[in-house]
Amino acid sequence: MDMQRHHAHKAWRAADRIRRLSDRLIGIGPFGIGLDGVLAWVPGVGPFYSVAAGGLLLFFGLRGGANPATLAKMAAFLAADTATSAVPVVGWAADTFFPGHLMAAGALQKDIEARHGLPAEVAALRRKKRPPNGRVRKRGLPLKA
């Protein structure tokens, strides 16, 4: 495996960990909450965590060779997420439900998948979950035969 692809797949995995930790520790249907939402209610700590996790995502994006447009999109999501943390109470509530890290990580993962494919273990898991006929509806439910 070439070095660029290796770094890209490491970035994909790191983005997945940050995404889950920040915005999906507890998932309820399409909604979730993570450290970013919980720590938003602690003055000073919320913005620090948000900036640190966002900085890590951008670092891994650069290291993984993400497209400049993807990096800009990630930065916009992360800036919006961090800006909401700065406003007491109303901003903290908004930050609790705005999945900025999840969106930035998703943009990075999508970029990496398009250029380098999925990491081998993720691709194997996804193949394992597909129905035998391989046909899937938009929502991920198998089609009836």
The residue behind tokens 């790191």 is: 14
Q: Is the pLDDT of residue 77 over 70?
A: yes
Q: Is the pLDDT of residue 144 over 60?
A: no
Window from 7-16, 96-105, 132-141 with minimum mean pLDDT:
132-141
pLDDT of residue 46: 86
- Quickly count: other Cβ atoms within 10 Å of residue 39's Cβ: 21
* pTM for the model: 0.83
- 104/54 Cα distance (integer angstroms): 8
Q: Is the pLDDT of residue 145 over 80?
A: no
pLDDT of residue 31: 83
CA dihedral 81, 86, 87, 92 (to 10 degrees): 60
Q: Chain-centre distance of CA 101, in angstroms?
A: 5
Q: Which two tokens stand for residue 4?
A: 């660029």
Q: Is the pLDDT of residue 132 over 70?
A: no
The domains of the chain are located at 3-120
- Of the pLDDT bands very low, low, confident and very high (cuts 50, 70, 90), residue 130 is low
**Long-range contact pairs involving 76-80 (C-beta distance under 8 Å, separation at least 24):** 77/101, 77/103, 77/104, 77/107, 78/50, 78/54, 78/104
pLDDT of residue 54: 96
**Bridge partner residues of 31 (DSSP):** 28
- Of the pLDDT bands very low, low, confident and very high (cuts 50, 70, 90), residue 71 is very high
pLDDT of residue 66: 96
Q: Residue 24 contacts by C-beta under 8 Å, 6 or more apart in sequence? A: 32, 33, 34, 99, 102
- Containing H/E element for 42? none
Q: Residue 105 contacts by C-beta under 8 Å, 6 or more apart in sequence? A: 15, 16, 18, 19, 57
